[in-house]
Chains A and B, each alone.
Chain A
Amino acid sequence: MRRIRAAAVGAATLSLVLAATSCGGGSSTGGGSNDSPKTLTYWATNQGASLEVDKKVLAPELKKFEKQTGIKVKLEVVPWADLLNRILAATTSGQGPDVLNIGNTWSASLQASGALLPWDEKTFDKIGGKDRFLASALASAGAEGKDPAAVPLYSMAYALYYNKKMFADAGIEKPPATWDELVATGKKLSKDGKWALGAEGSNLSNNIHQVFVLGQQHGADFFDAQGKPDFTSDGAVAAVKQYVDLMAKDKIVAPGNAEYAQNQSLSDFAKDKTAMVLWQTASATFKAQGMSEDEWGVAPAPVQSGTPGTGTSANSMVAGINMSVFKNTDNLDGSLKFVKFMTSDAEQKILNKTYGSIPPVKSAQSDAEFNRPDLKVIRDTLANSAAALPQVPNESQFETVVGTAVKNLFAAAAGGKAVTNESVKAELTKAQQQMPKK
């Protein structure tokens, strides 16, 4: 009798294990099908002021798509903080959405997981061809030499936003064009409880964006030609030190900014507490914070000297959102139709206008809306002087570990501790040692 009991329990366990492994991870090697042609699931990133705003923006467009194709799109807007883990979970289980948005800097990391549909020439032709897209935006859609893992959807770039009234009060006539000018201008502005420049010291991604651009200006890439981490080169140390020194040495960034991670620096800007911020497409946020358009100006982000351009004069990373198709989709044709719809000229104009971004589709940029002074600066930056973050499989890890290193250095600076070449190098060495070896 004991044997029967053991066998019953054993059989039940085995069946459960089998059930779990077959529906769970481990063997999801499917390559997409058209088994479910009438519906699509779409994970959108949070672009607007809230998830609800995004739903309101996207709902009518999705209805339009349904009317055109008869395909119903189930929308889920995923907050940024959850998105990467949600994608990882979907990749592991094979139970993901059909189409999803990703941060463009993650393209190569997610491409390495094999979860996203590769965009070869033939696939690109189904949405009108590769040439429709801006080259810099395409450079942020996957590793070099491989078919992109995504298609650019919204493009953004960094610019220097400045508070016109605070500039006028301090007798400053024009926005700074170089870092030296920014520091000199900043010293005039940083007094009486007001500060020159805002930073988000605890926001890992923002830290990465800023030090990557400064790295470009110092001739450092953070990854070598083989895609191996190279965080401790002289250029990388100089870039990180220069950024943290804005608080530690130049004292033009408020120490309190070291703990900012929720866009508090934009609120300070709108409240006339901070005179400048380096930000990507901030107009919608300023408006939401009660600032009218004539209260702020926009200029290209600073360079070491001269005018912004490619290479060591890059003054922004290529920021933006990409759109990918999950390889396991049950509606491959429908997914491609949906990407075509979202990257069509008409939709590109509507969506980018709403979100205050730039269409990565060249033909959609002709709309007068994208000629506004602030968007023109961003458009020019994207076209001439923005560099794509390293498109390597370990990019996502790089954001975490180097972003944390910069956060720690800001914390030290805010606490009155010295930030030296040695302390910067030590933090970056620690970061590099945390990177996966392969």
Chain B
Amino acid sequence: MTVTAPEETGTRAAKTDGPGAARGARPPGRIRRIGLPYLLLLPALLLEILVHLLPIVTGIFMSFKELSQFYLRDWGAAPWRGLDNYSVTVDFDAPIGAALLHSFAITCAFTVLSVGLCWLLGTTAAVYLQETFRGRGVLRALFLVPYALPVYAAVITWAFMFQRDNGLVNHVLHDQLGLTDSPTFWLIGDNSFVALLVVSVWKGWPFAFLIVMAGLQNIPRDMYEAAAIDGAGMWQQIRRITLPSLRPVNQVLVLVLFLWTFNDFNTPYVLFGKSAPESADLISIHIYQSSFATWDFGTGSAMSVLLLLFLLVVTGLYLLVTNRGRKTADV
């Protein structure tokens, strides 16, 4: 059965010109009964279940349990807590809920700023590099370096640079340029938010640059030429041609950047360790600490489930709003 399947697929692929053409060469016997497409999808489906669905279901199950170190070894036997973990999590007057709310607010502000700056920098650089000039290739490659570097190595380097007494950042800002009265703390205290934002934008904007650059390739040059003949300046060309044409690309880009940034764990963890300063206590690290540092896996799971729901709602609304415009346009 497994031997015949690829042959059948090959034949089908060769003959297929459109959806109707495939109907002529259906596989025989049992395979037809089960449905070849489903059979071919099965490995992916099984992996999807194993890698995504099962952990989600397990996480939801755990969120209803009192899961501490006492039940780690046999967590199926942990006492059922019902919605208690959730009520603790959303009780914003009590310490656990209040800390989560604080962390959520920090994460929202961080995400808006980081995604906004990544998009702005990426788009500006991509538009700028549309013009041909000497060294454009080198510049393009250079811009992609942060994206190509392993996250851990890059962020740990930033952590060194942000050290107060021996770091490069203070060396430049304080020692060389004299912009600050005394060396600044970047890894503890209120400035941690700025440090986190800088690293996040540095790491994220090349992706925006790459995607926008790809999007720009699809805009016909003659549109710009026609606009130029009509007297449109550079700014008008960007507003009237570039941005509207990039809209579908930007929709995906902003969504992906939003999800990545909101959930970013590596950057704060490598920068600050397992207990981030309050000003940079992103929700991912907050949940990690609730689960793994205080060993309260039930509450940690409840927080994760709520986060998942929030991201699903936001993503759903975003897709609804952005697709509505497109559907109207299609009609």
Q: Which residues of A contact B (CB under 8 A)?
A: 1, 4-5, 8-9, 12-13, 16-17, 20-21, 25-29, 85, 88, 91-92, 94, 109-110, 112-115, 201-202, 204, 254-256, 258-259, 261, 327, 393, 396-397, 400-401, 403-404, 407-408, 410-412, 414-415, 430, 433-436, 438
Interface residues on B, range: 35 or more
Q: Is B188 an interface residue (CB 8 A)?
A: yes
- One digit per residue, 1 when the CB lies within 8 angstroms of any chain A CB and 0 when it does not, for chain B 29-54 equals 00001110010001001100110001
Q: Which residues of A contact B292 (CB under 8 A)?
A: 85, 88
Listed by A's residue number, 30 A-B pairs whose Cβ atoms lie within 8 Å are: A12-B45, A25-B76, A29-B74, A85-B292, A88-B292, A88-B295, A92-B73, A92-B75, A112-B69, A112-B70, A113-B69, A113-B70, A113-B72, A115-B72, A202-B188, A254-B165, A255-B164, A258-B185, A393-B70, A400-B274, A400-B293, A403-B275, A407-B275, A411-B188, A411-B189, A415-B185, A415-B189, A435-B294, A436-B294, A438-B68
CA–CA, A408 and B281, complex, Å: 12
Q: Is B8 an interface residue (CB 8 A)?
A: no
Q: Is B248 an interface residue (CB 8 A)?
A: no
CA–CA, A339 and B120, complex, Å: 60
Q: Which residues of B contact A254 (CB under 8 A)?
A: 165
Determine whether the beta carbon of A259 is less than 8 Å from that of B35.
no
Q: Which residues of B contact A (CB under 8 A)?
A: 33-35, 38, 42, 45-46, 49-50, 54, 66, 68-70, 72-76, 94-96, 99, 163-165, 183, 185, 187-190, 273-275, 277-278, 289, 292-296
Contact of A4 among B34, B46, B75, B296 (CB under 8 A): B34
Determine whether the beta carbon of B54 is less than 8 Å from that of A20.
yes
Determine whether the beta carbon of A28 is less than 8 Å from that of B295.
no
Q: Give min CB distance, B179 to chain A, whole Å.
A: 18
Q: Give min CB distance, A269 to chain B, whole Å.
A: 14
Q: Which residues of A contact B49 (CB under 8 A)?
A: 13, 16
Determine whether the beta carbon of B34 is less than 8 Å from that of A8.
yes
Contact of B277 among A255, A327, A411 (CB under 8 A): A411
Known: A408-B278, A410-B188. 11 other contacts (CB 8 A): A12-B46, A92-B72, A113-B73, A254-B165, A259-B163, A327-B73, A397-B295, A414-B185, A414-B188, A430-B95, A434-B294
CA–CA, A1 and B96, complex, Å: 51
Task: State whether A433 and B188 are in contact (beta carbons under 8 Å apart), knowing that A12-B42, A16-B54, A26-B76 are contacts in the complex.
Answer: no
CA–CA, A415 and B188, complex, Å: 9
Task: State whether A407 and B188 are in contact (beta carbons under 8 Å apart), knowing that A4-B34, A28-B73, A29-B73 are contacts in the complex.
Answer: yes
Q: Which residues of B contact A29 (CB under 8 A)?
A: 73-74
Determine whether the beta carbon of B273 is less than 8 Å from that of A16.
no
